[in-house]
Amino acid sequence: SGKTNYSEAVDYSITGIEPGAGITVTTEKAIKKYDSLKGWNLEQSSTGAMMTKLGEAIDKEEPIIITGWNPHWMFAKYPDMKYLDDPKGVYGKTELIKTLARKGLKEDKPNAYKLLDQFHWEVEDMESIMLEATETGTEIAEVAKKWVEEHPDVVAEWTKGVDDVDGTEIELVSTPWDSERASANVVAEVLRSKGFNVTVTPVDVAVVFEAIAKGDGDATLAAWMPITHKDFYEEYEGQFEDLGENLKGAKIGLVVPEYMDIDSIEDLQP
Ligand code: PBE
């Protein structure tokens, strides 16, 4: 294609995150679908390890291909990065983050259900929390609490028609990424302000879906669709209630530094 061949320099390897992530599952599909990725492998470890390797590669201007996504602070910290085009559409175009509730939540805890149903925010809101937490080294829970205090008008919309309760327990199940730690902690804080006794449990993606389907947890704000969590969603479809999106404009894909002379997954070489 006339582009630089980086295959040997990166050892035919995409630098990825945790084995259970939706983006990991999706990248395994990409490796099967693209001839350009024949013989490649996805190196799985953790989000923290991937970010460390990304930082090291960028310092030395070395090639690296990561599994990237928005919202995340990676593009704030390293603005000179690009998503590789995905002509086969394996990663989709844009993702929604959806709220799912266990069956029966509406009848059992109508005020919690109403608040969860009314919760939605913007990419910039979620990113501002993640960025402040990482830049200042503050716990996301702390930053989320402050965000809630500073946004009374938005919070008033989420709590419209929600009555105060007296210690009703509610369990949010979530994934361990910063994006979902931000949303879960914000909503937990707002639920607490209405008198709920809230637990946030971070687990693997598969366990999030299983817990909601079996009624072990009350709700999640962490379902990335239509691509990222498709397999999990379809496995349990009909066993949970889909409350619709709480955020629009998320994205997943393969991401590289701008200094790499490629634009598409098809510019990689087997
Ligand atoms: N992520 C961030 C997750 C969802 C949120 C894209 C790394 C994943 O399951 O892939």
Average predicted confidence (pLDDT) for the chain: 97
- Round to whole Å and give the CA distance between 251 and 228: 9
Q: Which stretches of the chain score pLDDT less than 50? A: none
Residue 91 Cβ inside 6 Å of ligand 1? The answer reads no
- Round to whole Å and give the CA distance between 50 and 74: 11
Q: What is the pLDDT of residue 3?
A: 85
Q: Write down the domain spans for the chain.
A: 13-93+252-267, 96-248
Q: What is the pLDDT of residue 234?
A: 98
Centre of ligand 1 from the C-alpha of residue 99, in Å: 15
Pick the CATH number of 96-248 from 3.10.105.10, 3.30.70.600, 3.30.360.10, 3.30.43.10: 3.10.105.10
Q: Which residue has the tokens 């590669």?
A: 57
Q: How far is CA 262 from CA 3, 4, 67, 91, 266, in A?
A: 6, 7, 16, 18, 9
Give the ligand 1 atom nearest the CA of 205.
9
For the question of an ipTM over 0.90, the answer is yes
- Residue range 138-166, pLDDT digits in tens: 999 999 999 999 999 999 999 999 999 99
Same fold, 13-93+252-267 and 96-248: no
- Residue range 221-261, pLDDT digits in tens: 999 999 999 999 999 999 999 999 999 999 999 999 999 99
- Domain boundaries 13-93+252-267, corresponding CATH code: 3.40.190.100
Question: Which pair of tokens denotes residue 256?
Answer: 């590289």
Residue 170 Cβ inside 6 Å of ligand 1? The answer reads no
Residue 224 Cβ inside 6 Å of ligand 1? The answer reads yes
Q: What is the pLDDT of residue 133?
A: 96
